[in-house]
Structure formats: C-alpha cells, structure tokens
Amino acid sequence: MAYELPALPYDYTALEPHISKSTLEFHHDKHHAAYVTNYNNAVKGTDLDNKSLEEVIKHIAGDASKQGLFNNAAQAWNHSFYWNCIKPSGGGTPTGPLAAKINEDFGSFEKFVEAFKSAGTTQFGSGWAWLVLDNGTLKVTKTPNADNPMTAGQIPLLTMDVWEHAYYLDYQNKRPAYMDTFVSSLINWDFVAENYAKAI
C-alpha cells in the first residue's frame, strides 16, 4: 500500500512573492518526493506495508534500529501537512472557536505569535515549529529533524518548516524574515481551524 506523494494544493507560483516557484519545485518535487520514495522502498514487503503513515510513525518512534525509516515516514507526513498549513493570501488572524481558544490558552493572539516564532528561532539546525493540542490545551512546541508531536500524544494543528530548504532560496540565512512572512501572509487558518474542530 504505497504512500503517494500528494500534489501541492495550489500552483507552483501561487505563493509568490513570499515563497518562490523554485523553492516549491525543489521542496516538493525533490525533498518531499525523496522522503516518499525512500519510505515506500523501506516498507515494501514488510509487515508495515499495510499500515497508514500515522500508524507507522507511532509504532516505530523511539526504535533506534528503525530511525532511518522513521525519518522518511515522519518527513513524508510532516511535509504533506505543511503544504496544507499555508495558502495564497493566507496569514492574518484566526476566527471563531480557534481564536477564542488561542486567547484563552496563550493570553492573546500576539503572545501565541511570539511563542510560535520563538520556537522556530530557537530550533537549532533543522526542524519544525508546531501548534498542538495537548490534553485539551493549545501549546507551541518544536521538534528537531523529522520528529513529530504525535509521538508524544499531541495533536498537530499547524506546523512551520524551519529546515533551510524551506526558505533558503528566497530568504538565505534570514530565518526570522521567513517566519514573519509565514505568520503574516501564509498560514491557512481555515485548515488549522478544521484540525482543531476534529481534535476537540
């Protein structure tokens, strides 16, 4: 049951000028595609072949002998999730129950943004910043490399890719500028709100 590389939910030029066509082509067609190919090759003919990507990630997390498989499985999932977390003309502020919950758990939307950007800034090297639901509470967390909060029992609602390949062609070493743009102009709050509604 091979996992298929999902198509981007928008055109390669749709996120310009914030994320370029070149970045999406490299990021989706090369990096993401490689994780999917490596994952499918690794599970083919094994007892994991008929499990969903989420099941495999949770099943093998923490098993040092399967770290390579975990990395490719989690990166395949993380990227598929990430593409849906951003959209053309995104950003701004959420509304409805999600907005109320952010205000309740962080104190304000501005405090959430501060925590989210801090997670991205302080993730040394490659990794991800996340908004998660953890036992009914919204939290910001960060993970290195391929790690995913679902292995800690948290439910991912939003992620920001802070691997250099996500932004380097457009922002070079200016990760904070990429993060500012991500929050102000890219976040797909409708998708995040859908994730929150399913999780509660």
Binding residue positions? 27, 79, 161, 165
3-state secondary structure of 48: coil
What's the start-to-end Cα distance of the chain, in Å? 30
Owner of token pair 């999730």 = 81
Q: How far apart are CA 196 and CA 131, in angstroms?
A: 10
Helix axis angle for 189-199 and 96-106, nearest 10°, is: 80
Residue 188 CB-density burial (10 A; 0-12 exposed, 13-18 middle, 19+ buried): buried
Binding residue positions for Mn(2+)? 27, 79, 161, 165
Query: Hey, which residues does 130 pair with through a beta bridge?
Result: 141, 159
Q: Tell me the HSE value of 165 on the side-chain side, using a 13 A CA sphere.
A: 13
Show the DSSP H helices in the chain as ranges.
21-26, 33-43, 53-60, 67-85, 96-106, 109-122, 168-171, 175-181, 189-199
What are the tokens at 31?
């990096």
Instruction: Give Cα separations from 5 to 2, 130, 192 (angstroms).
Output: 10, 22, 21
